Amino acid sequence: MIATPALRISNLTKDFGGLRAVDDVSFQIGEGEFVGLIGPNGCGKTTTFNCISGLLEISSGKIEVLGQDATGMRPDQIQSLGLTRTFQHTWLWREMTVVENLLVPPRQQFAPNALLALLRPGSRQAEKHRVVDAYSVLDLLEVSHIAHNRTSELSGGQSKLVDIGRALMSSPRFLLLDEPVAGVAGPLAERIFQNLRTLTSEKGIGMLVIEHNMDFILRRDVDRIIVMDRGRILMEGTPEEIKNSRDVVEAYLGDTGQE
């Protein structure tokens, strides 16, 4: 049992008309815990993420983020609690450089009036600190050499790393990562997961990572894996327990319905 959950989901249900995409889902994840969320296409993984992050209104259930009730909150309100997410497809500002992309997300940068923000005492010093933080994040993700490249020039894998870096700039205590290595070549995908493991172990950031490729995530150093099938939690356990589950194998090979 997790003493202080960073994320607690209780009886989460999401209906789209007559279709139940997420069906009475419950789980919890602690700070600094690295958890995978897997399941066949259409099982409800991304819908669950969209509910947790406030992009979709839930039909029923409860969402708690870092001890606070986040049910019904807007995405910006949920982010202010310390939860940030990425998407399967990166949405970077293509005509801006990598470091410029990272300087946008930090919270509480501006006063209600932009001119007043520039004149506010300490604003220039705060901006310098943000630049230092941005380069530190790029160093952590091993992409500081592309800091001044436009993101339109990046490879798919580099774009994924910049997207993760942008999420880290909001000083999250919990991250939802939607297929962070989808379409990324093998060696770089390995490095991305290694960097994510470092973030959990060294900075205590909790993470829930969607990964469709079961074989890939079973070889990663995750603490637990949650398996979804047809909108429900099929199983939760260690990678070894998941690997040896006949139910999980059958879910991947069988008919999964639609999300």
Half-sphere exposure of 62 (CA within 13 A, CB side): 7
DSSP assignment of 153-164: G--HHHHHHHHH
| Distance (Å, whole) CA 222 – CA 36 | 7
Residue 211 has pLDDT above 90, yes or no: no
| Distance (Å, whole) CA 95 – CA 148 | 11
Q: Are 35 and 28 in contact (CB under 8 A)?
A: no
Q: Are 27 and 73 in contact (CB under 8 A)?
A: no
pLDDT band per the 50, 70, 90 thresholds, residue 115: low
- List of domains in the chain: 5-253 (3.40.50.300)
Residue 1 has pLDDT above 70, yes or no: no
Residue 132 has pLDDT above 60, yes or no: yes
pLDDT band per the 50, 70, 90 thresholds, residue 195: confident
Global pTM value? 0.84
Residue 256 has pLDDT above 50, yes or no: no
| Distance (Å, whole) CA 64 – CA 4 | 11
| Structure confidence by residue, pLDDT tens digits, 147-180 | 999 999 998 888 988 999 999 988 899 999 998 8
Residue 117 has pLDDT above 80, yes or no: no
Q: Are 136 and 104 in contact (CB under 8 A)?
A: no
